[in-house]
Structure 1
Amino acid sequence: MSRKEAEPAAGDGSSASGADEGGSGSGGELADALARRRLYREVTLALRSGLRDAKADFSFLRARGLRSLLGFLRSTASAADDARLLLFRHSQSIPDLQVIPVLFQNSLHQPKEDPVVTLDHIFGTEPMRITSPSTDSEIALALRVLEGCCLLYSRCTALAHKYKAVKVLLNILASRGPTEQGVCLDALISVMLDSPSNQMSILVFVLQSMFCMGQDL
């Protein structure tokens, strides 16, 4: 074989190998994209299903949703890489997937007074929504979920401040039993981490308490 005949043959071989490398590279990118999409679906599905139950009218359904959310947070914290954590943080900028508002509007909600029953409610012309009160175990689960959210994403503490988290937690400390109090202390610490606004809220509470004690003397 002459040199001129050999050179094109060599060139064809390098082109084929380059095409193989390009094909494998695009295949790897496609696989990564599909994996990211699948993980995104898993995260959003876990949040949506947990939040749906956590907003239910009945305590046992809310507790089931909270257990689901707590399991998701624990698996996110123990994941080998940060992909799930980053997706969770991104999800908390989407109102329909935010966990903190659901906690304070349902399990940690403290009604100011008993609902007023009217004749319209009695005769059925205006249906009345009846929500079962939060049980001790439900509140403990909600506090664990709150703690997990704040530890995984610092912006959750800012969102908790909008719902007066410090005041709610201090009320739980004052009115609930030892089990809830222990969990509540953990949640209170997590809410105050890297959150000047929540730290200021508890400082104001302490100063007000000291002032009231001084007035009583």
Structure 2
Amino acid sequence: MNLKEALWSKQSDSNEYPSPSSSSRRDPESEAASTAATNVVGELVNSLNKQRIYREVTLALRTGLRDARAEFSFLRVRGLRFLLKSLRSIAQSDSSIILFSHTQSIPDLQVVPVLFEHSFKETEDDRVENLDHIFTVEPMKINSPSTDAEVALALRVLEGCCLLHPESTRLAHQHKAIPVLMNVLSTRGVLEQGACLDALISIMLDSSSNQMDFEACNGIEEVAELIRDKQVDENLRLKCGEFLLLLKGHVNGMERSPMATISDDLRRLLGEESASLIWAASQFGSTLDPDQRLTALHIQARRVLESLDLY
């Protein structure tokens, strides 16, 4: 079979490419038209690429949320793992983050409400209000309780949503996020408690309503009690130290913060030396790269813990 030669492979009648002198004499209107055509093609490619990313983001959310709404915990765990993996992928690209933010304005794609309606449901008071279902012929719909792994994953997903999409903190407030998470902190195991402290920081960033809820729930007292208890797992106590450092340095860093008395509370609960260490550590580190900041945070949390253990 003989294929036709591609148009762009044909040369001129003289079988030679145009000389530089001839190309320099091209019509300015032709050059303008060529530039315009190139811009149009670039815009088309960008538009198609944006549509592709949007389809990938929405498909990932629909797939994960479908399982996250399931009746059985093992299915919800699968959905939460998929959502967490998707959020980590979304975080690698600014364009994906913007598209994710757009999806969270669509009720069917909102992640935060699903977390509180399913995975965190068992952390709330879930008492049976009546026994009408016993006297009916219709079977009662039963959801399996949330496992430790499910709650921990849901907390990581919540943290990711709030960091990528600050408006998710408002959705969390609507579902009474602070009381729910404080209940997790006081009743669940070490795995969930550590994830809970990270999630608390993320939902309080730039959210006065959540900060006020934290104050109302005596949140600082709860965390201080954990860090002072030498019977508590050491890694969890270190996580509490990191939480207090972040709370003082970032959440409380803005003017007129709802937690304006945090310094006084820390002196009262942890003593002058530990409170001074937390204050001093919160004043530095903003010029460090992320890895250095994380290392510095670990070191400062260890120093806070050592200052407490001396007394």
What interval of TM-score do these two structures reach, taking the shorter chain for normalisation?
Answer: 0.7 to 0.9
User: 1:100, CA displacement in angstroms?
Assistant: 0.7
- The answer to whether 1:26 aligns with 2:47 is no
User: 1:111, CA displacement in angstroms?
Assistant: 4.8
Indicate which of 55, 65, 72 corresponds to 2:69: 55
- The answer to whether 1:174 aligns with 2:186 is yes
Partner of residue 187, structure 1 = 199
User: 1:104, CA displacement in angstroms?
Assistant: 0.2
Partner of residue 264, structure 2 = none
Partner of residue 166, structure 2 = 154
- The answer to whether 1:94 aligns with 2:106 is yes
Higher relative contact order (CA 8 A, sep 6+): 1
Deviations 1:83-111 (A, max 9, x none): 10011111111111111100000001135
Name the TM-score, length of structure 1 as normaliser.
Answer: 0.82
Deviations 1:150-191 (A, max 9, x none): 111211111101111010001111111111111111111111
Deviations 1:104-144 (A, max 9, x none): 00001135214844132xxxx42321211100000000000
- The answer to whether 1:74 aligns with 2:88 is yes
Partner of residue 119, structure 1 = 135
Partner of residue 243, structure 2 = none
Structure 1: tracts of 5 or more residues without a match: 1-9, 211-217
Aligned ranges for residues 30-45 of structure 1 at < 5 Å? 30-45=44-59
User: 1:24, CA displacement in angstroms?
Assistant: 2.1
Task: Write the distance in 2 (CA, Å) between the matches of 1:166 and 1:148.
Answer: 16
Quick one: which amino acid aligns to residue 58 of structure 2? T
SS at match of 1:128: coil
The RMSD of aligned alpha carbons is: 2.1
SS at match of 1:93: coil
User: 1:19, CA displacement in angstroms?
Assistant: 3.2
SS at match of 2:127: coil
Task: Write the distance in 2 (CA, Å) between the matches of 1:196 and 1:45.
Answer: 33
State how many pairs are aligned: 194
Deviations 1:45-76 (A, max 9, x none): 11111111100001011111111111111112
User: 1:12, CA displacement in angstroms?
Assistant: 7.4
Task: Write the distance in 1 (CA, Å) between the matches of 2:27 and 2:218.
Answer: 78
Partner of residue 154, structure 2 = 142
Quick one: which amino acid aligns to residue 206 of structure 1? N
Task: Write the distance in 2 (CA, Å) between the matches of 1:12 and 1:139.
Answer: 68
Deviations 1:10-48 (A, max 9, x none): 997444433333322221111111111111111111111
Task: Write the distance in 1 (CA, Å) between the matches of 2:62 and 2:56.
Answer: 10
Name the TM-score, length of structure 2 as normaliser.
Answer: 0.58
Partner of residue 132, structure 1 = 144
SS at match of 2:145: coil
Report percent identity of matched pairs. 55
